[in-house]
Amino acid sequence: MFDREGARHIAQSAIDARVVIDDARTRELQLGWYFGCRSLGEPLIASSGLIVNKSTGKVLRLGSAFPVERDLALYDKGYQFERADLVVLEVANLDATLATLLELGLTVVVPTYEHGSVWRIPRELTRDELAQRLRSLPYVFGDVRLYFGLEALERARALGALRFEVLEFVVPKR
């Protein structure tokens, strides 16, 4: 278990030398420690600080598209990964579940060969493709970036449309 100082040490080692932790903004969360940062030179772009997990010491860098309060609240709800596996365990309302998954913009990559090259261009899954995948549960939508769709998942959870887990996507070792 990482206390404030242990987590601060991890946070400091995870940031650039031109960035410092703003101790006045440090906050304890249920599952982590939040550290706001400030730049010694150029303004920080696309960063609202970082969170260090109390149990694992894993660092999550926050974006700047949303208010920090949103990101902190969602972190304690289990959204702690930049890349995740979204595991659908149960579907109670298929239409609401499909609407949620469509809002997430889940994609599939089908490699194609043209002009001597293999192209891997993602395309969004259709409603029918999503429905087909949900016929066999649990279903894992792998390597998903959920940051912009977290509210949609939370709305679906509150409605009881589906039951799901969000797990860290781990890049397979070669």
The rounded distance, in Å, linking the Cα atoms of 100 and 105 is 9
pLDDT, tens only, 12-21: 999 887 788 8
Angle at the Cα of 65 (from 62 to 68), degrees rounded to 5?
A: 50
Residue bearing tokens 């903004």: 25
pLDDT of residue 45: 61
Asked if residue 46 has pLDDT above 80, the reply is no
| Amino acid at position 165, single letter | E
Give the domain ranges of the chain: 4-75, 84-168
| Chain Cα centroid distance, residue 124 | 18
* Residue 119 CA: distances (Å) to CA of 49, 88, 103, 108, 156: 36, 29, 25, 13, 34
pLDDT of residue 37: 87
- Decide: 127 and 94 in contact? Cβ < 8 Å: no
Torsional class of 50: left (φ above 0), alpha (ψ -120 to 50), beta (otherwise): beta
pTM for this predicted structure? 0.87
CB atoms closer than 10 angstroms to residue 21: 17
SS3 6: helix
pLDDT confidence tier of residue 147, bands split at 50, 70 and 90: very high
Asked if residue 44 has pLDDT above 70, the reply is no
pLDDT of residue 39: 77
Q: Return all residues near 157 (Cβ < 8 A) that are at least 6 apart.
A: 163, 164
pLDDT confidence tier of residue 171, bands split at 50, 70 and 90: confident
| Amino acid at position 130, single letter | L
pLDDT of residue 38: 81
Mean pLDDT of 131-141: 98
